[in-house]
Amino acid sequence: MPSNIQIQLDKRPVGEARLSDFKLVVSDTPPLQDGQVLVHHHYLSLDPYMRGRMNDAKSYAVPQALGQTMGGGTVGEVIESRNANYAVGSQVLGMGGWQQYSVVDGNQPGALRKVDTRQVPLSAYLGAVGMPGVTAWYGLVKIIEPKPGQTMVVSAATGAVGSAFAALSKARGCRTVGLAGGPDKCRYGLEELGFDACVDYKQHSSAASLGKALSAQCPDGIDGYFENVGGQVLDAALPLMNAFGRIAVCGMIAGYDGAPLPLAAPALILISRLRLQGFIVSEHREVWPAALEELGRLVAAGQLRPRESVAQGIEAAPEAFLGLLKGRNFGKQLVKLV
């Protein structure tokens, strides 16, 4: 049985999360029982939603338990098996958490999924062809319902969700504008991700100033807005929404540390007859097959080439996660465990 390094939640953050909220623990992996497999994780996914789960507050997910391994998506390889459906050597996607190995009951529905790495790299199943990609797909296709020629805007544009959003939106014939932090991310958004324009929100200290810059890139207004951030960015975009515009509310990362983030002008919801809808992609399993099919096709065809920020080794996970919350990552944040 290999020895397994795990990262547990040690304390609930007060305000901003810190390294001291996490604890590194080493344990042995238990022997397999019938139906179980031992998975060696190759990559761990770090995602903004994890910050919400660290609080013990009303939220859509049950809170992360204290003294338990942090939850999270993983891809890896089956290295021992007592389940006929998963041969040793199978490549699998699961929720293995912040650790090097996991023991999984292969018979539990949804616990593991075999993935095909002939055309899609293994790590992409945690990003473009995984939960973040399907998140972009659901918000765009099911909430925003874009029409060719309309203008779509996404915040956190060069992240895992934003990257997929760009490819999906362009594939539907929409003008696609991103909001990202810093000139490097904006250039990458234009040159690699296919955005028609990218606005650097770090150049603006007020919603009014950001709104003016965004408006210049959206001469026909905004028909669909995919919100990953909230706060000032949402205040900048709301007045630019066209009548009957749709806003998919996927993230409010700026508010996770507990600071109240009001919306300045909710009357615009009425004035512009907008539809705002919050969603959690894990509650819409029915769309995953169609979404993953399209996303896999875009990746295989080279139309979606998302960048990855890769931290090395499980010990690096907490610091990489805190960097993600500050926007220090560039593309999908992963931890490589092999």
34, 58, 89, 148: which one binds a second copy (CB under 8 A): 58
Q: Which tokens go with 203? A: 């150049």
- Which pairs with CB-CB distance under 8 Å and at least 24 residues apart come from 318-323? 318/7, 318/19, 318/21, 318/22, 319/19, 320/46, 321/17, 321/46, 321/50, 321/51, 322/17, 322/18, 322/19
Cα–Cα nearest to 211, from 275, 155, 136 = 155
63, 121, 221, 278: which one binds a second copy (CB under 8 A): 278
Kindly state whether residue 302 participates in binding a second copy, applying the rule CB under 8 A: no
DSSP secondary structure, 120-155, as one string: S-GGGGGTTTSHHHHHHHIIIIIII---TT-EEEEE
State the residue for tokens 């919801």: 269
CA gyration radius, the chain? 20
Smallest distance, a second copy to C-beta of residue 21, A: 21
19, 89, 109, 283: which one binds a second copy (CB under 8 A): 283
Burial of residue 192 (number of CB atoms within 10 Å: 0-12, 13-18, 19+): middle
Is 96 or 162 the residue whose CB approaches a second copy more closely? 162
Kindly state whether residue 62 participates in binding a second copy, applying the rule CB under 8 A: no
Beta bridge partners of residue 235, listed in sequence order: none
Kindly state whether residue 272 participates in binding a second copy, applying the rule CB under 8 A: yes
Smallest distance, a second copy to C-beta of residue 295, A: 22
Smallest distance, a second copy to C-beta of residue 274, A: 6
Cα–Cα nearest to 43, from 64, 73, 13, 21 = 73
Smallest distance, a second copy to C-beta of residue 90, A: 34
Smallest distance, a second copy to C-beta of residue 137, A: 17
269, 287, 310, 316: which one binds a second copy (CB under 8 A): 269
Kindly state whether residue 249 participates in binding a second copy, applying the rule CB under 8 A: yes
Kindly state whether residue 115 participates in binding a second copy, applying the rule CB under 8 A: no
Kindly state whether residue 262 participates in binding a second copy, applying the rule CB under 8 A: yes
Q: Which tokens go with 31? A: 């022997």
1, 65, 243, 338: which one binds a second copy (CB under 8 A): 243
| Side-chain half-sphere exposure of 28, counting CA atoms within 13 A | 4
Do residues 204 and 174 touch, judged by C-beta distance below 8 A? no
Smallest distance, a second copy to C-beta of residue 167, A: 24
Kindly state whether residue 273 participates in binding a second copy, applying the rule CB under 8 A: yes
Smallest distance, a second copy to C-beta of residue 252, A: 4
1, 271, 290, 338: which one binds a second copy (CB under 8 A): 271
**Residues engaged in binding a second copy (CB under 8 A):** 58-60, 230, 234, 243, 249-252, 255, 260-267, 269-280, 283
